[in-house]
A = this chain, B = another copy of it.
C-alpha cells in the first residue's frame, strides 16, 4: 500500500461549502480534489493499493480527516466537482462511510501519524534530501502540505516518526504534481 497524507490548513470541516466555489467557500478544497485525482487515478482505471488522507483544518470544527482508498472507491469521477460532491457527503455524516467508499473521521494529523508510525514515513519538503539519495521502503507514507505548508508543531511531531525529509528538487510544486511524480518514481522504480 502507498499512502499520501495531505495537510490542508483552511479546508472546511463541514458540508457547508459550495461545490461550485471550492477555492473560496471550501477553503481550497480544490487542492484536495486534485490530489485525489493524481494519487488514485491512472488513465483508464483506479490504481491499486493507494490511499490518500486529506487532513482538513479549516472552520468550523477542525480537525477532520477524509479517507480515499483506491481499492474500495466507486461512483467517483476524476473531476473536481465529482470528488467534492462526495467529500461534502462524507463531511455531512462524519464517522459513516458514503456509498463512494469515501469517509471522514474526527482525527488530527498527529493521531494519523501515530496510527501509521510503523510504516516508513517520508515528509516532502523543499529543504529535504534529494529523493534520488533516499531508498523508499515498501508501504511508504508520504506527507505533503498545501500551499501554506504544514505548521511547525505538526511537522516536528511527524519528524519524530519519519524516516526522512525528502525533496523533489529546488522548485516548489503543487501537491497534485508532487503526488503524480512520486507515483511515477515508484512505478518505474527510479533510482
| Known A20-B81, A81-B20: A176·B184 in contact at CB below 8 Å | no
Whether A177 contacts B38 by the Cβ 8 Å rule is yes
- Chain B residues whose CB sits within 8 angstroms of the CB of A79 once the complex forms: 22-23, 30, 34, 80
Q: Is A181 an interface residue (CB 8 A)?
A: yes
- List residues of chain B with CB within 8 A of the CB of A187: 169, 171
Pick the interface stretch among A40-48, A50-58, A150-158.
A40-48
Quick one: closest B residue to A47, CB to CB? B171
Question: Is A183 among interface residues, defined by CB-CB distance under 8 A?
Answer: yes
Task: Say whether A70 faces chain B, with CB atoms less than 8 Å apart.
Answer: no
Q: How big is chain A's contact interface, by range?
A: 20 to 34
Given A44-B147, A174-B43, A187-B171, the answer on whether A180 and B38 have CB atoms closer than 8 Å is yes
Contact check, B30 vs A171: say whether CB atoms are below 8 A apart. Answer: no
Q: Are B180 and A177 in contact (CB under 8 A)?
A: yes
Given contacts A30-B81, A34-B79, A38-B174, 9 further A-B pairs with CB under 8 A are A22-B79, A23-B77, A30-B78, A43-B147, A44-B147, A44-B172, A78-B174, A168-B184, A180-B180
Q: Is the CB of A22 within 8 A of B81?
A: yes
Given the complex of chains A and B, what is the CA–CA distance between A19 and B37 in angstroms? 19
Tell me whether A172 and B34 are in contact (CB under 8 A): no
Sort A-B residue pairs by CB-CB distance and give the 4 closest, nearest first: A30-B79, A43-B172, A180-B180, A177-B180
